[in-house]
Structure 1
Amino acid sequence: MPRVLIVDDEESMRMLVARAIAMDGHDIATAEDGAEALEILSEQGAFDLLLTDIQMPVMDGIALALAAARDFPELTILLMTGFADQRERASGLNAIAHDVITKPFTVADIRTAVADALATRKTG
Structure 2
Amino acid sequence: MPQVYIADDNHEFATFVAVVSRQAGWDAVTCENGRQLLDTLREERGPALVLLDINMPVLDGIEAIEEIVDLDRRLLVRFMTGGADAPIIAARMIASARDLTVGRNIFKPVSKARLEEILDEAATVLEPDAGNA
Distance change in 2, residues 1:81/1:114 (3 Å): same
- Which residue does the alignment assign to 2:113? 108
TM-score (norm 1): 0.87
Amino acid at match of 1:70: D
Q: How does 1:13-28 map to 2 (within 5 A)?
A: 13-28=13-28
Distance change in 2, residues 1:72/1:13 (3 Å): farther
Q: What fraction of aligned residue pairs are identical, expressed as a percent?
A: 30
Amino acid at match of 1:114: L
Task: State whether residues 34 and 63 of structure 1, in contact with CA within 8 Å, keep that contact through their aligned partners in structure 2.
Answer: yes
Q: Give the length in aligned residue pairs.
A: 124
TM-score (norm 2): 0.82
In 2, the alpha carbon distance for the partners of 1:42 and 1:94 equals 17
Match of 1:123 among 98, 111, 131: 131
With 63-72 and 29-38 compared, the bigger mean Cα shift is at: 63-72
Gaps in structure 2 of 5+ consecutive residues: none
Q: How does 1:36-55 map to 2 (within 5 A)?
A: 36-55=36-55
Larger Rg: 2
In 1, the alpha carbon distance for the partners of 2:19 and 2:5 equals 13
Task: Report the secondary structure of 1:99's partner residue.
Answer: coil
Q: Please tell me the root mean square deviation across aligned C-alpha atoms, in Å.
A: 1.9
Distance change in 2, residues 1:93/1:106 (3 Å): farther
In 2, the alpha carbon distance for the partners of 1:107 and 1:78 equals 16
- What per-residue deviation string (whole Å, max 9, x for no partner) do you get for residues 30-89 of structure 1? 110000011111112325111111110111112222311221341111111011233343
Q: How does 1:1-124 map to 2 (within 5 A)?
A: 1-84=1-84, 85-93=86-94, 95=96, 96=100, 97-121=102-126, 123=131
Task: State whether residues 61 and 91 of structure 2, in contact with CA within 8 Å, keep that contact through their aligned partners in structure 1.
Answer: no
With 14-23 and 68-77 compared, the bigger mean Cα shift is at: 68-77
In 2, the alpha carbon distance for the partners of 1:120 and 1:112 equals 13
Gaps in structure 1 of 5+ consecutive residues: none
Higher RCO structure (Cα 8 Å, ≥6 apart): 1
Task: State whether residues 65 and 77 of structure 1, in contact with CA within 8 Å, keep that contact through their aligned partners in structure 2.
Answer: no
